[in-house]
Amino acid sequence: DAKTTQPPSMDCAEGRAANLPCNHSTISGNEYVYWYRQIHSQGPQYIIHGLKNNETNEMASLIITEDRKSSTLILPHATLRDTAVYYCIVRVYDNYGQNFVFGPGTRLSVLP
Partner 1 sequence: DGGITQSPKYLFRKEGQNVTLSCEQNLNHDAMYWYRQDPGQGLRLIYYSQIVNDFQKGDIAEGYSVSREKKESFPLTVTSAQKNPTAFYLCASSMRAGTGEQFFGPGTRLTVL
Whether 100 contacts 43, CB under 8 Å: no
Triad 26, 32, 36: Cα angle to 5°: 105
Q: Looking at 43, 53, 58, 81, which residue binds partner 1 (CB under 8 A)?
A: 43
Q: Is 2 in the site for partner 1 (CB under 8 A)?
A: yes
What are φ and ψ of residue 5, in 5° steps? -125, 135
Q: Is 59 in the site for partner 1 (CB under 8 A)?
A: no
Q: Is 21 in the site for partner 1 (CB under 8 A)?
A: no
Say whether 95 sits in a helix, a strand or coil. coil
Q: Which is nearer to partner 1, 57 or 77 (CB)?
A: 57
* Contacting positions for partner 1 (CB under 8 A): 2, 34, 41-46, 49, 87, 91-105
